[in-house]
Structures are given as structure tokens and as C-alpha cells.
Amino acid sequence: MGKDTLTITDNRTGKTYELPVEHGTIKALDLRQIKTGPEDFGLMTYDPAYTNTASCKSRITFIDGDKGILNYRGYPIEQLAEQSTHLETAYLILNGELPSKQQHDEWVFNITHHTMIHENIKDVLDGFRYDAHPMGMMLAAVGALSTFYPEAKQVRDKAVRRDQVFRLIAKMPTIAAFAYRHAMGLPYAYPDNDLSYCGNFLQMMFKTAGRYKVDPVLERALDVLFILHADHEQNCSTSAMRGVGSSETDPYSATAAAIAALYGPLHGGANEAVLRMLDEIGSKDKVPAFIKECKESGGDVRLMGFGHRVYKNYDPRAKIIKKMADQVFEVTGRNPLLDIALELERIALSDEYFVKRKLYPNVDFYSGLIYQAMKFPVDLFPVLFAIPRVAGWLAQWEEMLEDKDQKIARPRQVYLGHDRRDYVPLESR
């Protein structure tokens, strides 16, 4: 193996440059020395949607898209889904190591005792119409939290950051449940500290008169789903968290930006879009016609829950979720839409259009079927993605703040607009 450098010859000038290669990358800034003359700004890279640009160095999550590998801090997602809990996984993602018993108990205690939200947040939620989308309500409520904890602006203070981490992880389920109760015209069910993180969320959601009995199978299924959604390296919403956080705004405002990004149907909104797509297809025998419409649409009609920027193989999370569906359906009854989903997958995985583009089921393809069977309304599905992902967003945000390479995010552009021109008064136009 030769030197870890790249030799570039600029054919415009005949000059050659030798750039260091580190971790399989060259520093974009090293290209600026490549000029055609003293007036030249120097070379930049052009990479819309950052399809081939590393925005940071990270030690949190590793994905191998070709092999379908996903590790949090080195631990395979399959082992964490099997043996861990969401809160323990959140600790791992945020702290880099699995907690000791004492660390785990302290962590769970701190989160359990931050689940209440200020009564004024209820007024924020009550200001929405009954049919407001819960992601819009969560976006607003989390942004509003920044005004209740002004000390959160001290983003360089580790102890202050830790308190906001407790609050955000603890309060997301409460806000989600309250948004649902608002839509249903039900009284808010307050947190119950005697229950687990997921058990408490289920009771805040579905408690009616009398004591709510948590079903252990559904409680565990939700916990596993939360583990699977906790982080996913530099996805769209994490990039929003890092980008907005780089201005040193408070973590609630940065999280609101991440929620806004996750809301989109190409990202976290896909699990909701999958259910709407399955409903629209309506029956197994209509699947071939839908697949045909997808292929002929030039990308306008997409098989939601399929495809991924990084995974060019089966999303390992989708495999786990698909397996888990049967356990949930034993309790809730089988979701009839599963037959349509299985038929879509069967046909797509053998169809040249999807095979050539390496389109496989992603995390969103089966998760919605489980959520629907657990009686969550379809529009709440992206919110169920946001709840666990806040741990990943916060870990990535803290890593950005601690990274000496990082500063306020401000990309360049390729300007193709008008040259300087003089204003023309209205009467002369």
C-alpha cells in the first residue's frame, strides 16, 4: 500500500498537488489551494444533499449499508434489541458505555422523575384544533420548553446539558400522549412513576376510568421498537440537530428543528405514509397494479418504507420488526394490512426495478403495522419515531459541541445568478 495521499493534477494549469487522505477522506478545505490564478477563490466540492460528504467524525453509530450492519457504540442492534432496554440503550448512546447497575438505576430514576411537564404546556397543546397533526403539536411543545428552562442556553456546561437530556428524554412521551388525548377529547393522564418508561407511556395514552393494566408483551414490543429507532448516524433529522445546534442555540430549539425534519414523509413520516399506502392499495390482488404505477411514475410514486440512502441491503431494523410483529399480533390480533405488505415485499424483492436500485424494506415498512395493531392512530407514528430518536439527537448534539473540528455550520454555494446590475425605477419597467 502506497502513501496515504492523493495526487491531483490541475489540467487547467498543469500544477500538481498532494493531499493527505485520512479515514478515507480528503479535507475539502485542502482543495482551496487549487487555483487558476491569484484571483481564483480555489476549488470547492459540490455535493447536493451531501450524498458523498462526511460532515463530522463520530463514535456513536456505525452502519454498513451493503452488509446491513447497525451498531450503537459497537454493540450490534440485534443484541441490544434482544437483551437491552430503551433507557439502557439511550444511556449507552449518550455516554459511550453500558451503565453499571448503579449508573443504570440513577439514570432511570432521573428520567422517571422528569416526566411531568409544566401546566402551561397543556395550554400550548390546548391551543391546537382537535385534528391538528401531533408532530406539529410536538414540534411546538418542545420548542416552547426552551422558554421554561432558560439555563439550557448554557450549552457548554456539561451539568446543565445533562439536566436537559433528562428532561427531553422524559418529557417526549408525556407530550406525545397529551397530544393524543387532546385530539381524542380525553382528559390528560399524568405520568405514573411506578411504571417503566414504555409502560408509563402506554398508560398516559390509553388509560380510561380505573387503573390501566400494562400488557407486558406490548410494553416489551414498544421498548424494542424504541431501541431500534434510537439513533442512525447522520440522517436528515440528526443533521438538522447538529446544524441548528452549531449556532449554540438551546437543545429544545435544536430538537424542535430535528422533529421538523423527521416529520417529512421521506424520513420519519414514512411509517405513517406506509399505512396510508397500504390502505390505498386495499387488497393483495391490487399490489401488482400499484407496483406498476410506482415503476412508471419516474419516482413520483414511491413504495413507502422501501429504499434507503445508506442501506443497499435489508435494513437490519426491519428484519427485527418483521419478526416481532407476530408476537404483538398474538395479543392484538393480526393486522390484515400485513398480507398486503408481505405481498408488496415479495414482488418488490424479485422485481428488476427495485433490485437494480437496491431498494429493500427499511425501518418504516413494518413498524406502522405494529403501532396500528397496538391502537396508536396513524398520524402518531412519526411521533413514535421522535420519542426514542431524541436520545440519538442529543448524543450527536453533545458530540458536535465537544468536537474541536466543529463550528457554526455554514456551507458554501455555486452562484449561477445574475451579475451585478442596476436598479430600474418602477416607472421605467
Residue type, 239: S
- Mapping DSSP onto H, E and C, the string for 70-111 reads EEECCEEHHHHHHHCCHHHHHHHHHHCCCCCHHHHHHHHHHH
Q: What are the Cα distances from residue 116, in Å, to 15, 154, 190, 292, 319?
A: 64, 23, 7, 49, 35
| Catalytic residue list contains 418 | no
Quick one: CA dihedral 316, 318, 322, 324, positive or negative? Answer: positive
DSSP state of 306: B
Contact residues: ligand SDX, CB under 6 A? 232, 235, 266-268, 270, 294, 299, 302-310, 357, 359, 362-364
**Catalytic site residue from 223, 315, 364, 379:** 364
Q: How far is the CB of 73 from ligand SDX (least distance, A)?
A: 16
Sign of CA dihedral 253, 117, 150, 395: negative
Query: What strand order describes the sheet that includes 75-76?
Result: 61-64, 69-72, 75-76
Q: Which is nearer to ligand SDX, 207 or 308 (CB)?
A: 308
Shortest Å distance, C-beta 389 to ligand SDX: 7
- Catalytic residue, chosen from 104, 215, 267, 403, is 267
Q: How far is the CB of 18 from ligand SDX (least distance, A)?
A: 33
* Shortest Å, Cβ 185 to ligand SDX: 32
Alpha-carbon distances of 52 from 25, 57, 176, 309, 310, rounded to whole Å: 10, 14, 35, 11, 11
Dist. CA 269–CA 334, nearest whole Å: 23
Residue 114 or 308: the one with the smaller Cβ distance to ligand SDX is: 308
Residue type, 400: M
Q: Are the C-beta atoms of 79 and 228 separated by less than 8 Å?
A: no
242 φ/ψ angles, rounded to the nearest 5 degrees: -70, -45
Residue 63 or 218: the one with the smaller Cβ distance to ligand SDX is 63
Dihedral angle computed from the Cα positions of residues 304, 307, 309 and 311, in that order, rounded to the nearest 10 degrees: 140
CB of 308 to ligand SDX, least distance (A): 5
Q: How far is CA 151 from CA 144, 159, 166, 402, 403, in A?
A: 14, 11, 14, 19, 22
Is 364 in contact with 274 (CB distance < 8 Å)?
Answer: yes
CB of 14 or CB of 299, closer to ligand SDX: 299
Quick one: 117 or 383, whose CB is closer to ligand SDX?
A: 383
- Whether 23 is catalytic is no
- Judged by beta carbon, residue 115 or residue 367, the one nearer ligand SDX is 367
| Closest CB to ligand SDX among residues 310, 409 | 310
Minimum gap (Å) between residue 386 Cβ and ligand SDX:
11
User: Hey, what's the torsion of the CAs at 270, 384, 61, 248, to 10 degrees?
Assistant: 100
Cβ closest to ligand SDX, residue 239 vs residue 246: 239
Distance in Å, CB of 306 to ligand SDX, minimum: 4
Closest CB 346 distance from ligand SDX, rounded Å: 16
Known catalytic residue at 308: yes
Minimal CB distance residue for ligand SDX? 307
Asked whether the beta carbons of 362 and 314 are under 8 A apart, the reply is no
Rg (CA), the chain: 24
The one catalytic residue in 86, 114, 133, 308 is: 308
Nearest CA to 224 out of 138, 315, 323, 341 is that of 323
List active site positions.
267, 308, 364
